[in-house]
Amino acid sequence: MSAGFPSGSRSPILPGATIGFLGGGQLGRMTALAARSMGYDIQVLDPEAACATRPVASRTITAKFDDVNAAVDLASQCDVITLEIEQIHPDVLDAVAARTTLHPGREAVYIIQDRIRQKQWLKANDFPLGAFVAAQSADDIADAVRTHGPCIAKSTHGGYDGRGQVRLSNVDQAKDAWTALGGHPCVVEQRIDIAYEISVLVARSASGQVAVYPPSRNHHTSGILTWAVVPAVISDAMTQRAQHLARGVAERIGIVGLLAVECFVTKDNTLLVNELAPRPHNTYHHSERGLATSQFEQLVRAVCDLPLGDTTAFAPSAIVNLLGDVWVQDTPPAMEHALEVDGVRLHLYGKAGARAGRKMGHLSAIGTSAQDALGRVLESYRRLSPATTGSFDVHEPVLAHITS
């Protein structure tokens, strides 16, 4: 669903212009491909010379995300700059914004890129979330466990895909957790009795137009997304609650671009915000298949202040991630067998050096229902890499309609 443009003048950045990316991973690559198809030129800055976006960009600057001079160089040749990773130094964001259009802006990114700041902002703005403690020491971690019971301690920066997290069951583990997280401030979250996980993606343009995607139902294994599917097979009431919540967060924080709002739904049907991401999100890779506008095209529209695209789901769609585990087995992945499953497509990110836990690509599918679409990608995964299917269930049905 989307809202129309507010009154007032607009100055869209039209095809033929150059879009710069801070970050050249797979999210940048897929967004750059969408931008290319719309007629935009692409430049990118990334610490890795052979980053995934490089083959799609006309110019790649190899530099760290705190290199102000390199960022100024990028900004000097771009009409708008966006990001595909939030861990960009604030000085870089300031330097870019002083020279060209930057979306999302510094303030929203600054809040989101630190988990303590993010949690405190959500709490201050009355958005629902689980109990947490901003820990400045091992003693703070121990106090959090005493107060809230079993917890998860998370690093304040980075730590995606299950990294930078320590589970705690008792206070005796606090010192080791503090050490494991580098002896730095961390956020300690009370463990939640989760029924299921969803996310909602919101797009917002500089003109204030908003488009909200249908919720995605998600499943993680060891902290890494395993699969995601739309429709989420949840009640209409929960769908509306989640979309309303996500839109409220996006508008309050003033995002221009995309905001993914990851949520937990507890076993007593409470909706809680887990984390925010100001960029394309792994849980919406299926938007390329079953939704009227992919998240990647939508990001281009949003940061260039073009009319936002329709977010209607025209077919059930699902993805399953392909991690480096698939490539480090004794038997190489059987791509040809994976593609025997009707409705399945293979998406590889062009990364060199597969390793366990590294996202190398994904499989996507459309189907007649959410269960059918998910079943297709799971069956395709089973055929591609039988040796790694033991890490999650690829045989039995995993979706049941949730009515409350």
160 among the known binding-site residues? yes
Q: Hey, how many other C-beta atoms are within 10 angstroms of the C-beta on 225?
A: 25
Q: What is the pLDDT of residues 274-315, one digit of tens each?
A: 999 999 999 999 999 999 999 999 999 999 999 999 999 999
With beta carbons less than 8 A apart as the criterion, state whether 318 and 367 touch: yes
Measured distance CA(29)–CA(280) in Å, rounded? 11
191 among the known binding-site residues? yes
Measured distance CA(26)–CA(348) in Å, rounded? 9
Say whether pLDDT at 17 is over 50.
Answer: yes
Say whether pLDDT at 400 is over 50.
Answer: yes
159 among the known binding-site residues? yes
The correct answer on CATH 3.20.20.100 for the domain covering 194-391 is no
User: Percent of the chain, pLDDT > 70?
Assistant: 93
Domain with CATH 3.30.470.20 in the chain: 194-391
pLDDT score at 190: 93
146 among the known binding-site residues? no
257 among the known binding-site residues? no
Domain with CATH 3.40.50.20 in the chain: 18-112
Contacts for 31-39: CB closer than 8 Å, 24+ residues apart = 31/82, 31/84, 31/280, 31/296, 31/299, 31/300, 32/56, 32/57, 33/296, 34/294, 34/296, 34/297, 34/299, 34/300, 35/300, 37/297, 38/297, 38/300, 39/15
192 among the known binding-site residues? yes
285 among the known binding-site residues? no
Closest to 229 in 3D by CA, of 323, 316, 339: 316
With beta carbons less than 8 A apart as the criterion, state whether 311 and 211 touch: yes
Give the global pTM.
0.93
pLDDT score at 3: 47
336 among the known binding-site residues? no
| pLDDT tier, 392 (very low <50, low <70, confident <90, very high otherwise) | low
Measured distance CA(214)–CA(226) in Å, rounded? 19
64 among the known binding-site residues? no
Measured distance CA(88)–CA(95) in Å, rounded? 12
pLDDT score at 9: 45
**131-190: what fold?**
Dna Ligase; domain 1 (3.30.1490)
Measured distance CA(135)–CA(141) in Å, rounded? 6
Residue predicted with more confidence, 124 or 399: 124
381 among the known binding-site residues? no
Output the CATH code of domain 18-112: 3.40.50.20
Q: Which of 166-170, 293-297, 386-390 has the highest mean pLDDT?
A: 293-297
Buried b (16+ CB within 10 A) or exposed e, 280-289: bbbbbbbbbb
Cα of first residue to Cα of last residue in the chain, in angstroms, is 23
Say whether pLDDT at 189 is over 70.
Answer: yes
| pLDDT tier, 331 (very low <50, low <70, confident <90, very high otherwise) | confident
190 among the known binding-site residues? yes
Domain with CATH 3.30.1490.20 in the chain: 131-190
107 among the known binding-site residues? no
pLDDT score at 352: 84
163 among the known binding-site residues? yes
Say whether pLDDT at 242 is over 50.
Answer: yes
